[in-house]
Structure 1
Amino acid sequence: MIYIERKERFSAAHQLYNPNWTVEQNDAVFGKCANKNFHGHNFTLIVTVKGEINPDTGFVMNLVDLKKIIQEQVIEKVDHANLNHDVDFMLGKFASTEVLAEEFWKILEPAIAEHGCQLHRIRLEETINNAVEYFG
């Protein structure tokens, strides 16, 4: 089994806020991330794919194809967007990095499978210090 990965970057705004809680509860749990005017991050998305090497190409998956899938199905929808309001697959969902990673998986997994390999991991770095990894 061989693992390959592709990194993409995007900038997006979001708010961490539970509408079932008081403003005080949200502030206590989420701090500045509950700001009514939202806040933003420069995210790094790392997509890891696994599979066997195709003897005709020497690839697990053509990285040009992987880049195109990630760009068209994820990055173009989230880059310079408000995750709480502008992104169709995030509407009505909690805009945490954890939920975002799960939603990216749901989008990318079938598209990658069409190329004869498997999505292994989504790593989403929200800041230089904070990251989420999701393995489906």
Structure 2
Amino acid sequence: MVYLTRIEKFNAAHKLWVKDWSEEKNLAVFGKCANKNWHGHNYKLVVTVKGEPDPITGFVIDAKRLSVLIKETIVDKVDHSNLNLDVDFIPSELMPTTENLVILFWNELEPHLDSCKLHSVKLVETDTIYAEYFGE
């Protein structure tokens, strides 16, 4: 089994806020992420697929094709967007945390892979925070 990883980048804004909570509680729980005017991140999306290399091409999947799939299914929809408001596959009632986003990104990408299997989706929000999902 061979694992191939592709990295794509995008920028997006979001706000972490629970409507039923007071401003004080939201700020206590979410800190700067509860900024009333939103805030943004320079995200790094790390997608790893797995499979056996094709006997002719040597590819698990053509890395350029994987890049196109990631861009078409995820990056083009989230780049320079408001994750709370603008993205059709992010439910409005779902908090757009890094943890929730990796699951949604998996669900968007996985059906488009046929020559390999999705192994993991990792989303790096900052230098010190990322979430990773293995489809479990």
The two structures have a TM-score, normalised by structure 1, of 0.96
1:105 match: secondary structure: helix
Task: Give the aligned residue type for 1:111.
Answer: H
* 1:103 equivalenced with 2:130 (yes/no): no
State how 1:1-136 maps to structure 2 within 5 Å.
Answer: 1-92=1-92, 93-112=94-113, 114=114, 116-136=115-135
1:126 match: secondary structure: strand
Q: Percent identity?
A: 52
Query: How big is each residue's C-alpha offset from its partner over 1:66-107, in whole Å with a ceiling of 9 and x where there is no partner?
Result: 000001111000000000001111132111011111100000
Aligned-pair CA distance for 1:21: 1.5
Q: Which runs of 5+ in 1 are unaligned?
A: none
More displaced 10-residue stretch of structure 1: 5-14 or 92-101: 92-101
Q: How many residues align?
A: 134
Aligned-pair CA distance for 1:22: 1.6
1:131 match: secondary structure: strand
The two structures have a TM-score, normalised by structure 2, of 0.96
Instruction: State how far apart, in whole Å, the 2-side matches of 1:18 and 1:95 are.
Output: 12
Aligned-pair CA distance for 1:20: 2.2
CA RMSD, 1 decimal: 0.8
Q: Which runs of 5+ in 2 are unaligned?
A: none
Instruction: State how far apart, in whole Å, the 1-side matches of 2:19 and 2:62 are.
Output: 43
1:20 match: secondary structure: coil
1:69 match: secondary structure: helix
